[in-house]
Structure 1
Amino acid sequence: MIAAPVSTLANVAEHLHDDEIHVWRLDYRRSGGRAPLRALLAAYLGTTAERVLLREGEHGRPALAAGLDPSLDFNWSHSGDHALVAVARHVAPGIDLECLRPRQHAAELARRFFSAEEAAALAVLPEAERSVAFLELWTAKEAVLKALGRGLAYGLHRLSIASVEGQLQLRRLQGDDADAWQLQRLALDHGLVAALAWRGGERRIRLGTLASGG
């Protein structure tokens, strides 16, 4: 776990290895837009935030503009006052974050948008556990789709995820080899649910918190 004020961010960023993914937690304010994201990426690029230009992918996934380090990729997600940013080299990470709140219609939403196996697994859970389990599946699916460079419109039913002994497993991904993917639940404070996904071999995840103002 990294606890990094802004003064040490550049040092941590300098040591991003090819077998790692750095995940930063930071405060989010809608009024700030992507400014905190660009400031964080600037540390990895060795430049200023003003020079970090972003472009939109075909399906809306943000990416670095041409001319910036092509080996570096990132993804981010925000919910409420919280945001997560995943940064990696030579792999496209996908990350998703949700604030936990009761989902009275979780089973109905699962029947509508999830695979039959996932919906059935949620249906047998006690109602008190269903909201957490639903969000764990939801964030995992979104993380995979974001790593693919696709959005929710691609279809949540095109992939199937299971939780086995506390570990997330991608069981099926239409048009791809599910075994080629990595999927990790991220341990955050109570009240937050998050997942990280990427296509490729195992990597060490370094989870840190960026002090306010970064």
Structure 2
Amino acid sequence: MRTTLGHDVAGIVSSLDEECVHVWLLNYRKSQRREPLQALLGVYLGVPAEAVVLTAGEHGRPELAPPWNAVLHFNWSHSGDKAIIVVARGLVPGIDIERVRTRPRSGELAERFFHPDEAAKLSALEEPRRELAFLQLWTGKEAVLKALGRGVAFGLHRLHLSVESGSSDLIWLDGDDATQWQLQRLDVDPDYIASVAWRGPRRVIHFWTLAERG
């Protein structure tokens, strides 16, 4: 089934300005590759999906090719059967989504790769809160690193996030001022955890679910 965008979506995309960011959740299959992403970006740009050209940044982050990269920024992530897309003007966002599932090595991974304070606070939590907190930290870190244009190779220990329930605050970021960043958890689906981040002032997050049509 091909993802089809109708006039309702076209009306929504026209509301994107520098006071907000748009987030879209959609069903996804790996066989679709970048097709749904290009279809949605095409509506924002006013061009057919096949005309949307994507390039890779210095560290592999997908970007729009010039001249579109000067007016529109995006990021996307997929896990399980869901994908999530963030679109913005005037800032570079990062987003990540992970399906909730048991990760037997989460404690070991946190001890090895996370900031020491995060690992210590995670170890003090009881299941299942520990697993959910691990995923919240993971998606938050991924979102920030993707907004930086970097990946996990930057070092997951080089940023420190709060571990408190329901919080996604960025406490410290190596080489940057963490107070200049926005990081928010997204309530997308009971079986998924997602986070969005950007460097800049607060903006309103508008969230929609994108339905497939035959």
Q: Deviations over 1:53-101 (max 9, x none)?
A: 0000011100000122512100000001100000000100000000000
Match of 2:188 in 1: 188
Match of 1:179 in 2: 179
Partner amino acid for 1:47? V
- 8 Å contact 2:76–2:95 — kept in the other structure? yes
CA shift at 1:7, angstroms?
Answer: 2.9
Partner amino acid for 1:156? L
- 8 Å contact 1:6–1:211 — kept in the other structure? no
Structure 2 residues without counterparts, runs of 5 or longer: none
Match of 1:149 in 2: 149
Match of 1:41 in 2: 41
Match of 1:119 in 2: 119
Separation (CA, whole Å) in 2 of partners of 1:155 and 1:203: 27
Partner amino acid for 1:188? V
CA shift at 1:196, angstroms?
Answer: 0.3
- Paired residue secondary structure (1:90): coil
Separation (CA, whole Å) in 2 of partners of 1:138 and 1:166: 14
CA shift at 1:166, angstroms?
Answer: 2.3
Separation (CA, whole Å) in 2 of partners of 1:6 and 1:186: 25
- Paired residue secondary structure (2:187): coil
Separation (CA, whole Å) in 2 of partners of 1:113 and 1:138: 11
Separation (CA, whole Å) in 1 of partners of 2:123 and 2:7: 48
- Paired residue secondary structure (1:208): strand
Q: Deviations over 1:93-113 (max 9, x none)?
A: 000000000122211110001
Partner amino acid for 1:116? P
CA shift at 1:212, angstroms?
Answer: 0.9
Partner amino acid for 1:143? A
Q: Deviations over 1:145-199 (max 9, x none)?
A: 0000001111100000004462211011000000000000001211100000000
Q: Summarize the Cα distance change of 1:69–1:11 in structure 2 as closer, same or farther, 3 Å threshold.
A: farther
Q: Summarize the Cα distance change of 1:45–1:97 in structure 2 as closer, same or farther, 3 Å threshold.
A: same
Match of 1:212 in 2: 212
Match of 1:6 in 2: 6
Structure-1-length-normalised TM-score: 0.95
Q: Deviations over 1:30-60 (max 9, x none)?
A: 1111010000001110111011000000111
Match of 2:60 in 1: 60
Match of 1:72 in 2: 72
Q: Structure 1: which 4+ aligned runs deviate by more than 6 Å?
A: none
- 8 Å contact 2:118–2:163 — kept in the other structure? no
The number of equivalent residue pairs is: 211
Structure 1 residues without counterparts, runs of 5 or longer: none
Partner amino acid for 2:40? L
Separation (CA, whole Å) in 2 of partners of 1:163 and 1:130: 10
Separation (CA, whole Å) in 1 of partners of 2:33 and 2:128: 35
CA shift at 1:127, angstroms?
Answer: 2.3
